[in-house]
Structure 1
Amino acid sequence: MPAMKVQGSARFACGGIGSDESTAMRAAMKDHPLSLLFARADGAYLAEIAVTIKDANGATALAMRASGPVCLIDLPAGRYTVEAATEGMTKSQTVTLGRGSKTADFRF
Structure 2
Amino acid sequence: MNPQHLRLAALIGAAMVLTSAPAARAAADDLVIRTMGPVSYVCGGVAEDERQALTAREKDFNIGILFTQGTAGEFLSDVAVRLVRDEQEVATFRAAGPRCLIRAPEGSYNIEASYKGQPKSIKVSTGTRNAQLRW
What TM-score bracket applies, with the shorter chain setting the length?
Answer: 0.7 to 0.9
Partner of residue 100 from structure 2, selected from 68, 71, 84: 71
Q: Distance in 2 between matches of 1:48 and 1:36?
A: 14
Structure with bigger gyration radius: 2
Bigger proportion of residues as strand: 1
Residue in 1 aligned with 2:76?
46
Match of 1:102 in 2: 129
Whether the aligned pair in 1 keeps the contact of 2:63 and 2:125 (CA below 8 Å) is: no
For structure 2, list consecutive stretches of 5 or more residues without a partner in the other structure. Answer: 1-27
Distance 1:52 1:96 in 2: 15
Deviation at 1:27, TM superposition (A): 4.2
Identity over aligned residues, as a percent? 33
**Structure 1 equivalent of residue 61 of structure 2:** 32
Root mean square deviation, CA, Å? 1.5
2:40 and 2:84 map into 1 onto residues whose CA distance is: 14
CA distance in 2, matches of 1:80, 1:24: 25
Letter in 1 for 2:64: S
Q: For 1:85 and 1:103, how far apart are their aligned partners in 2?
A: 19
2:104 maps to 1:81: no
**CA displacement at 1:3 relative to structure 2:** 1.9
SS at match of 1:102: coil
Structure 1: 4+ residue segments shifted above 6 A = none
Q: Contact 2:40 / 2:103 at 8 angstroms: preserved in 1?
A: yes
Structure 1: 5+ residue stretches without partners? none
Structure-1-length-normalised TM-score: 0.88
Whether the 8 Å contact between 2:80 and 2:95 is mirrored in structure 1 is yes
Number of positions where the alignment pairs a residue of Structure 1 with one of Structure 2: 105
- The residue number in structure 1 matching 2:45 is 16
Deviations 1:64-92 (A, max 9, x none): 00010111100000111111110221111
Structure 1 residue identity aligned to 2:129: K
Structure ranking higher on relative contact order (CA contacts 8 Å, 6+ apart): 1
